Amino acid sequence: MKKTTLILGCGDIGMVLGRELLAAGHRVIGARRSAKALEGSGIEPLPLDLNDEGALAALPDADYVVYILSADRFDEAAYRAAYLDGLKAVLRVYEGRDQAPKRLFFVSSTSVYGQKEGERVDEETPAESAGFAGALMREAEQALRASPLPGTTVRFSGIYGPGRDRLIRQVLEGRIAPETPPMYSNRIHRDDCAGVLAHLIGLEAQGESLEELYLASDCAPEPLHEVMAWLAGQLKVEPTEVIQAPLRKRSSKRCDNTRLRETGYVFRYPSYREGYAQVMKEGGFLPEPV
């Protein structure tokens, strides 16, 4: 029987995931406010505003539900609506169904961690972010864990990829993170985000048991200064300005992806070098050879 996967918040990552699942033989339904972008993709479009609880009753039954919503702005109200309130509303709908999903996947973030001294973090590390974004993400994770529905949370680190090139543009402006104290950063390519979710859905479909939580970050947590210095070398740019104040407010941690790799997932872009090389090439950022 063909499995049905419903992707709630079917944007950039969701569309890449949808194409992978279609290739694996799934029926894929993509829900988003404006579903026009899904036309011709093979993903069945479902126009839906998840903030409209009345509309949620029309959510289709599905074997797997993937919740990948994004807040439309960086403030507490928007984060609460997109992550906590939205997820709780979806859980209420499916908890009341005779035919519940086999598993609901919630896309969270490593912003739930509050570590600032370069500590190693994994799924067992206390997640105690002091910021509203991390705190609300953590509260949403706990809502899924408390639900009778089978659920898995996937915490992505800093997502980059086509169209997600802010760091490259900062380097092109001659900016670089300070060398000391080292501020560790973690990232994952957009295609690996989709790959991880497709991999976990595939394991579930094969009857494999999944954990309730996976940390999804690539294999190279590095000081941000080193990442930007490497980018500068590739782009043939000489840094002229050290970024200071905004960086001091950020966390500094090293994400350990051992649990995810032990499921058999192989990263397409195991470090920022492979990933950013692809982004720079596809985005036309690299200087022309002399």
pLDDT, residue 54, reads 81
State the sign of the Cα–Cα–Cα–Cα dihedral 66, 72, 76, 80. negative
Contact in structure between 177 and 225 (CB atoms under 8 Å): yes
Which residue intervals of the chain are DSSP H helices? 12-23, 53-56, 76-79, 86-95, 132-146, 166-172, 190-205, 224-235, 245-248, 258-261, 272-282
Query: How does 3-34 read in b/e, with b if 16+ C-beta sit within 10 Å?
Result: bbbbbbbbebbbbbbbbbbeeeebbbbbbbee
Report the run of H or E that residue 130 belongs to, with start and end. Answer: none
Please state which of the ranges 34-43, 103-112, 165-174 shows the lowest mean pLDDT: 34-43
Query: What confidence category does residue 49 fall into, taking pLDDT thresholds of 50, 70 and 90?
Result: confident
Q: How far apart are CA 20 and CA 28, in angstroms?
A: 10
pLDDT at 203 over 90: yes
Please state which of the ranges 35-39, 61-65, 98-102, 117-121 shows the lowest mean pLDDT: 35-39
Tokens for 243?
A: 């970024």
pLDDT at 248 over 60: no
- Pick left, alpha or beta for residue 259 (phi over 0 → left; psi -120 to 50 → alpha; otherwise beta): alpha
Q: What is the mean pLDDT of residues 81-87?
A: 94
pLDDT, residue 34, reads 87
Residue 59 contacts by C-beta under 8 Å, 6 or more apart in sequence?
Answer: 6, 31, 48, 90, 93, 94
pLDDT digits (tens, 9 = 90+) for 107-166: 999 999 999 999 999 999 999 998 999 999 999 999 999 999 999 999 999 999 999 999
pLDDT, residue 53, reads 77
pLDDT at 50 over 90: no
Per the prediction, the chain carries an average pLDDT of 94
Q: How many CA atoms lie within 13 A of 99 on its CB side?
A: 8
| Domains in the chain with CATH codes | 4-159+187-217+254-269 (3.40.50.720)
The pTM of the full predicted model, rounded to 2 decimals, is: 0.95
Give φ, ψ of 202 to 5 degrees.
Answer: -60, -40
pLDDT at 26 over 50: yes
pLDDT, residue 238, reads 96
Q: With pLDDT > 70 as the criterion, what percentage of the chain qualifies? A: 97
Query: What confidence category does residue 290 fall into, taking pLDDT thresholds of 50, 70 and 90?
Result: low
